[in-house]
Amino acid sequence: MNEPDRTIVQIVHLDETGDSYHRMRWPAATLARQRPNWRILNFHWTALERFEFGLHSDLLVVYQSSDPFVMDLIKKRRNLGRKTLVEYNDNFYEPCPASPVATEWSSPLLWQTYESFLQLADGVIVTGDGLYNLLSPKTHAPVTILENHYHHTLRPFEELWAEKGAETTLGWAGSLGHFPDLIAYRETLLNVLEKFPRLTFAYMGNEELFRALRLPLHRTRFVKWGSMQQYFEFWTGVHIGIAPLLDHPYNYCRSDVKAVEMAASGVLPLVSSVGPYSHFLNGTDGLSFQSPQELEGLLVTALNDPDMCKLQAEKAFNYVKNNRLAMENDTRAELYESFFPENPVKPTLPMGAGYFELRGTREEKARGVRVIDEAKKLSVARKGREAMHLLLQHGIDRDLLLSGLRLLMKREPQHCIREIEQVLSKYPLDLRFLLTVATRGPTMDMQESAWLRIIRVLQNQEQTFRRFYEEMVVADFCKSYELLPRFGLHIEKLLNIYPTSVDLLYIASRYREIAGDIEGAMGYLQKALEVHDIVRSNAHLTTRREVLQSWMLGLGKSQAKEQG
C-alpha cells in the first residue's frame, strides 16, 4: 500500500448534480492523479465519520455547508493548528426564482449560517469574478477563484464535428433555474426555426420549461434531464449551442462551465455577454449577445455560413484544449499545499494514497435533535438547569441556543438578562432571538425594547428578509398587544413594513378606536377588509410566487426587444 504524504478530507454532496461532479468529485480525482502521494477522501455530508477524519487531516475542505457542527469541527482544527477551506459556488442571497432551492435560499437564517462559515474559514474558494466580488467583503480570509475545467480526454475536433451530421442542429441544455433565461428568447427560437426550415432545435432539461416554449414539436428534439454522461452525449449531436442569461444578480455569479462543456464537445457556443463568460470570450474571440435580437442576428449569420460556424467552433475547442484541461492546471494543488501544516498529520484510516468516495455511516438522527431530546429528558426529570446548560453549551447551533434561551427564560426569568444580551449581540439579525425576548422577556420594558430593535432591523433590511419574518413578527406582535395594549404605539412603524397585514391593520383600528379616532379606526378596517377579500378570492391558488417571478423576468426581456 502506497502510504500517503498528505491527507485531504472534503465534506461534499455525493449526488448526480453538475456541481457535485464539477466542483467536488472530478477535481478531487484529478488532484489524486496530479499528486499521486496524496490521499483525498470525499465524505458525503451525512457521514458520521466526517468529524473524526476531518479533524485528523492535513486539510479540510467544506462545500456549500450549513451544518453548525461542522463549524465546531473547524474550530477544533484551528486549536490544533490545522486549516480549513470552504467553497460556495452560488449567489445564495438572490437565487433565480425558478430554482428548486429558491425558497430555501431566501432564508436570512441560511445566509447568516453561510456567512459564519465564511468568517470562520482560513480560505474561501469561488468559481469566478461574480462570487469573488460578492463574498470577499463577507470574510477576512483570502478568496481564491478556481475556474471550472474539463476533466475528460478530448477527442479530435474533426472527429467530433463529423459525427454531428450534415443537417444543422441548434441546442440548449440546462436546469429549471434557467426558466426566465430561455423564455426570454422564445420568439428568437421561433423566428430562426421559421427562417431555416431544415433546422432542428434540440432541448435537454425540464419538461415544464420545454412545454412553456411552445415550439413546433416536429422541429424539436426533447431529451429529459439525466446523468452527466447523458448530458455530454446530448452535445455530440449539436452544432450550435446557446447559453442565454438575463441581467440578474444570480447569473452574475454563475460559472462559465456550460461554454467549456459545449466547446469541448465540438459545439459552437453562443453565450450571453452578461455574467460569467468574459474570460471565455476573451480567450476565444467568441460570439456573444445581449438581447434576443442580437442572438437572432448571430444565429442567422452562423446558419448561413457553415464554414464560419465550424471555424468558430474549432476556436472554442482549441481554447479548452490549451487553457481549460484539468490535468494541465495544478492551481488547486498549489492552493491546497499552501494551507498544509508544516508537519504531516498522521493518518487515522488504513488506506493508501489516491482518491476515495465514502458515504460512511449515516447518522440516524441529526446531532441537534439528539441534544434536544436529551434536554427534554432532563427537564422532565426536574433537572431544568442541567437541561439549560446542555443546550447552551451547544451554542454553535442556533436552534439549540434558541431552545436553551427559552428554557432559561422560563425557569429563571429574573436571572437571565446577561445571557440574553450575549445572545442578542452574537446574532443581531436572527430575529427569532429578539422575538423570544419581545414575547417572553422578564420585564415589560425589556419586551418593548426588543420590539423597537426588531422594527429597526426590519426597516434596514430588504424585502426578502422582511417577507421571511412576516408571519413570525405579526403573530408575536398580536400576542404582545393583547398582553399590553401600549405596544400599539408602534403599530404604525410595523404597518410601514407590512402594509397589507390584515392582523396589523385590525390592531391599528382597535388602537385608534381606543384613542377616540373613530374615522381613523374605520379607515384601517376598510383596508383590512379589502386585503381580506383579495386573500379569500385566492384561497385555492395553485400558482407559486416563483413561477410568476420567472415569467415576469422572461417576458420583461422579450418586451425590451420589441420596444427596441
Domain borders along the chain are 6-149+327-358, 157-322, 365-423, 458-541
**Beta strands per DSSP E along 54-119:** 59-63, 83-87
What CA–CA distance (Å, rounded) separates 519 from 153? 77
557 confidence band (pLDDT: 50, 70, 90)? low
Which of the residue ranges 89-103, 161-175, 225-239, 323-337 would you say has the lowest mean pLDDT?
89-103
What is the rounded CA–CA span in Å between residue 518 and residue 498? 22
Q: What is the dihedral sign for C-alpha 435, 438, 439, 440?
A: positive
This prediction has a pTM of 0.84
Helices (H), 16-67: 18-19, 26-34, 50-55
What's the pLDDT at 403? Answer: 78
pLDDT classification of 408: cutoffs 50, 70, 90: confident
Q: Is the pLDDT reported for residue 1 higher than 60? A: no
545-563 vs 186-195: helix axis angle to the nearest 10?
50
pLDDT of amino acid 362: 82
Q: Whole-angstrom Cα distance, residue 419 to residue 412? A: 11
Average pLDDT, stretch 51-75? 94
Res 483 pLDDT > 90: no
Q: What is the CA angle 430-431-433, rounded to 5? A: 85
Exposed, middle or buried, 337 (CB in 10 Å: 0-12/13-18/19+)? middle
Answer whether residue 564 shows pLDDT above 70.
Answer: no
Per-residue pLDDT band for 383 (boundaries 50, 70, 90) equals low
Alpha carbon distance 39, 520 (integer Å)? 72
DSSP H or E stretch at residue 113: helix 108-120
Least confident stretch, 26-35, 440-449, 492-501: 440-449
Q: Is the pLDDT of residue 400 over 80?
A: no
Q: Per-residue b/e over 361-398, b at no fewer than 16 CB within 10 Å?
A: eeeeeebbeebbeebeebbeeeebeebbbbbbebbbbb
The amino acid that residue 477 corresponds to is F
pLDDT band at 396 (very low <50, low <70, confident <90, very high): low
| CATH topology match: 6-149+327-358 vs 458-541 | no
Residue 286: pLDDT band (50, 70, 90) is confident
Give the model confidence (pLDDT) of 315-349 as tens digits: 999 999 999 999 999 999 999 999 999 999 987 77
- pLDDT tens column, 67-88: 988 998 999 999 999 999 999 9
Kindly tell me if the per-residue pLDDT of 561 is higher than 60.
no
Q: Which residues contact 366 (CB under 8 A, 6 or more apart)?
A: none
CA 491 vs. chain centroid, Å, equals 35
State residue 101's pLDDT score: 83
Q: Residues of the chain with pLDDT > 90: what percent?
A: 65
Better pLDDT: 1 or 293: 293
pLDDT over 90 at 270, yes or no: yes
Is the CB of residue 261 less than 8 Å from the CB of residue 232?
A: yes
541-554 as b/e: b if 16+ CB within 10 A: eeeeebeebbbebb
Q: What is the pLDDT of residue 465?
A: 93
Q: How many Å apart are CA 174 and CA 248, to the nearest integer? A: 17
* Numbers of helices and strands, H then E, in the chain: 29, 13
- Over 70: is that where the pLDDT of 394 sits? no
Say what the pLDDT of residue 364 is.
60
Q: Which pLDDT band, with edges at 50, 70 and 90, does 419 fall under?
A: confident
Burial 517-526 (b: 16+ CB within 10 A, else e): eeeebeebbe
In this structure, how many other beta carbons lie within 10 angstroms of the beta carbon of residue 18? 16
**Whole-number pLDDT of residue 533:** 80
Residue 560's pLDDT band, with cuts at 50, 70 and 90, is low
Strand order in the sheet with 169-173: 220-224, 200-205, 169-173, 240-243, 268-272, 287-289
Question: Which secondary structure element, helix H or strand E, spans residue 319, and what is its range?
Answer: helix 306-323
What's residue 366's pLDDT? 63
Report the candidate in 532, 474, 527, 465 with the shortest Cα–Cα distance to residue 504.
Answer: 474
User: What is the rounded average pLDDT of the residues 534-558?
Assistant: 69
Which of 532 and 467 is assigned the larger pLDDT? 467
* pLDDT digit string, tens, across residues 209-221: 999 999 999 999 9
Could you give phi then psi for residue 220, rounded to 5 degrees?
-125, 160
Cβ neighbors of 367 (< 8 A, separation 6 or more) are 69, 397
Backbone angles phi, psi at 141, to 5 degrees: -80, 155
Average pLDDT over residues 86-107: 88
CA distance 264 to 507: 63
* Cα 536 from Cα 539, distance rounded (Å): 5
The answer on pLDDT for 370 being more than 90 is: no
Q: What is the mean pLDDT of the chain?
A: 89
Which residues are within 8 A (CB) of 481 and not within 5 positions of it... i.e. 6 or more apart? 487, 488, 491, 507
Please tell me which residue, 535 or 101, carries the higher pLDDT value. 101
Out of 222-236, 357-371, 422-436, the most confident range is: 222-236
Q: Which fold has domain 458-541?
A: 1.25.40
d(CA 84, CA 242): 38
Can you say whether residue 462 is alpha, beta or left, with left for phi > 0 and alpha for psi between -120 and 50 degrees? beta
What is the mean predicted confidence (pLDDT) over 228-233?
95
pLDDT value for 334: 98
Residues in the chain: 564
**CATH code, 157-322:** 3.40.50.2000
- Amino acid 524: pLDDT: 87
**Is residue 381 predicted with pLDDT exceeding 90?**
no
Task: Supply the CATH classification number for the domain 6-149+327-358.
Answer: 3.40.50.2000
